[in-house]
Chains A and B, each alone.
Chain A
Amino acid sequence: MKGVVKGSKVLGYRVVDEGIGWGEISDINDLPLGFSDIQKPGFYRLSKGIRFRHNLTSPKLYLHPPEQLVSLVLPNYRIVGDDLHIDRVILFGIKPCDLRAIGILDSILGLNKHPIYTRMRSSIVGVVVEECLEPGETCFCGALGAGPSILQGFDIAYARLREDLVLFKYGSDIGKEVISRANLVKADRDIVSLYQELIDRCRKTTETRIPSINEIKDALKKSMNNTQLWSRLSSKCVGCGNCNYVCPTCFCIEIEDIVSDGLSRRVGKWIGCLTYTYGQVAGGHFRPRLYTRYRHFVLHKFLFYPMQINDIGCVGCGRCITWCPLGIDIRDTLREVVKNG
Chain B
Amino acid sequence: MDREEEKLSIFAFRRAIVVNEIEEAPNVKTLAMKFSGDYNASPGQFNMIYVYGLGEVPISLANLPKSVGRSTVVEHTIRNVGAITKAVVYRISIGSIVGIRGPYGRGWPLNEVEGRDILIIGGGIGMAPLRPTIKYIEKSRERFGRINILFGARTPQDMLYKYELDSFKSIPNTKLMLSVDTYSNGWQYYVGFVTDLINYVDTDVDNAVAFLCGPEPMMRIGVKKLLDKGFRKDCLFLSLERRMRCGVGVCGTCQFGQYFICRNGPVFRYSDIEDYIWVEGI
CB of B232, distance to nearest CB on chain A (Å): 24
Known: A71-B12, A77-B97, A257-B54. A224 touches B275 (CB 8 A): yes
CB of A175, distance to nearest CB on chain B (Å): 31
Q: How far is the CA of A125 from the CA of B83 in the complex (A)?
A: 43
Interface segment out of the listed A41-49, A157-165, A194-202, A280-288:
A280-288
A-chain residues with CB within 8 Å of residue B56 when the two chains form the complex: 255
A281 touches B258 (CB 8 A): no
A interface, over-half SS: mixed
B280 touches A292 (CB 8 A): yes
B282 touches A253 (CB 8 A): no
Interface 0/1 of B1-43, CB less than 8 Å to A: 1000100111111010000000000000000000000000000
A-chain residues with CB within 8 Å of residue B85 when the two chains form the complex: 282
Which residues B225-280 have CB closer than 8 A to chain A? 241-243, 245-246, 248-253, 255, 257-258, 275, 278-280
Smallest CB-CB separation from A113: which chain B residue? B250
Q: A77-B52, A79-B12 are in contact. List 17 more A-B contacts (CB 8 A).
A: A70-B11, A71-B9, A77-B97, A77-B99, A78-B15, A79-B1, A109-B250, A115-B10, A224-B279, A253-B252, A255-B245, A256-B55, A282-B82, A286-B242, A289-B281, A292-B281, A303-B258
Smallest CB-CB separation from A306: which chain B residue? B258
B interface, over-half SS: loop
B255 touches A304 (CB 8 A): yes
Smallest CB-CB separation from A109: which chain B residue? B250
A-chain residues with CB within 8 Å of residue B55 when the two chains form the complex: 255-257, 266
B98 close to A (CB within 8 Å): yes
Known: A252-B251, A304-B255. A73 touches B278 (CB 8 A): no
The 7 closest A-B pairs by CB, nearest first: A282-B82, A292-B281, A307-B258, A252-B252, A283-B81, A114-B250, A282-B81
Interface 0/1 of A266-310, CB less than 8 Å to B: 101001000000111111001111011101100110011001100
A304 touches B245 (CB 8 A): no
A225 close to B (CB within 8 Å): yes
A-chain residues with CB within 8 Å of residue B249 when the two chains form the complex: 113
A115 touches B11 (CB 8 A): yes
B257 touches A227 (CB 8 A): no
Which among A73, A251, A287, A299 is the interface contact of B99 at CB below 8 angstroms? Answer: A73
Smallest CB-CB separation from A309: which chain B residue? B258
A77 touches B98 (CB 8 A): yes
A3 close to B (CB within 8 Å): no
Interface size on B, residues (CB 8 A): 44
Q: How far is the CA of A252 from the CA of B255 in the complex (A)?
A: 10
Q: How far is the CA of A113 from the CA of B10 in the complex (A)?
A: 8
CB of B254, distance to nearest CB on chain A (Å): 9
B53 touches A225 (CB 8 A): no
Which residues B115-159 have CB closer than 8 A to chain A? none
Which residues A229-270 have CB closer than 8 A to chain B? 251-257, 259, 264, 266, 268
A-chain residues with CB within 8 Å of residue B255 when the two chains form the complex: 296, 300, 304
A7 close to B (CB within 8 Å): no
Q: How far is the CA of A279 from the CA of B250 in the complex (A)?
A: 16
B282 touches A259 (CB 8 A): no
B81 touches A251 (CB 8 A): no
Known: A253-B252, A282-B82, A287-B281. A75 touches B10 (CB 8 A): no
30 A-B pairs whose Cβ atoms sit less than 8 Å apart in the complex: A71-B11, A71-B12, A73-B52, A73-B99, A77-B15, A113-B248, A114-B250, A115-B8, A115-B9, A115-B11, A117-B250, A224-B275, A224-B279, A225-B279, A251-B252, A253-B245, A253-B252, A253-B253, A254-B251, A255-B11, A259-B53, A266-B11, A282-B57, A282-B84, A291-B281, A299-B282, A304-B255, A304-B257, A304-B258, A307-B258
Q: How many inter-chain contacts with C-beta < 8 Å in the A-B complex?
A: 122
B242 touches A279 (CB 8 A): yes
A76 close to B (CB within 8 Å): yes
Q: How far is the CA of A336 from the CA of B267 in the complex (A)?
A: 35
Known: A280-B243, A282-B83. A255 touches B251 (CB 8 A): yes
A-chain residues with CB within 8 Å of residue B50 when the two chains form the complex: 73, 77
A-chain residues with CB within 8 Å of residue B242 when the two chains form the complex: 279, 281, 286
Smallest CB-CB separation from B8: which chain A residue? A115
B-chain residues with CB within 8 Å of residue A113 when the two chains form the complex: 10, 248-250
Which among A71, A79, A227 is the interface contact of B280 at CB below 8 angstroms? Answer: A227
Which residues A112-128 have CB closer than 8 A to chain B? 113-115, 117
Smallest CB-CB separation from A280: which chain B residue? B243
Q: How far is the CA of A115 from the CA of B241 in the complex (A)?
A: 25
Which among A227, A257, A300 is the interface contact of B53 at CB below 8 angstroms? Answer: A257
B-chain residues with CB within 8 Å of residue A271 when the two chains form the complex: 253
Known: A77-B15, A252-B252. A286 touches B9 (CB 8 A): no
B-chain residues with CB within 8 Å of residue A257 when the two chains form the complex: 52-55
CB of B242, distance to nearest CB on chain A (Å): 6
Smallest CB-CB separation from A221: which chain B residue? B275
B251 touches A76 (CB 8 A): no
Known: A81-B5, A304-B258. A264 touches B53 (CB 8 A): yes
Known: A77-B97, A253-B252, A287-B281. A281 touches B241 (CB 8 A): yes
B-chain residues with CB within 8 Å of residue A281 when the two chains form the complex: 82, 241-243
B-chain residues with CB within 8 Å of residue A291 when the two chains form the complex: 281
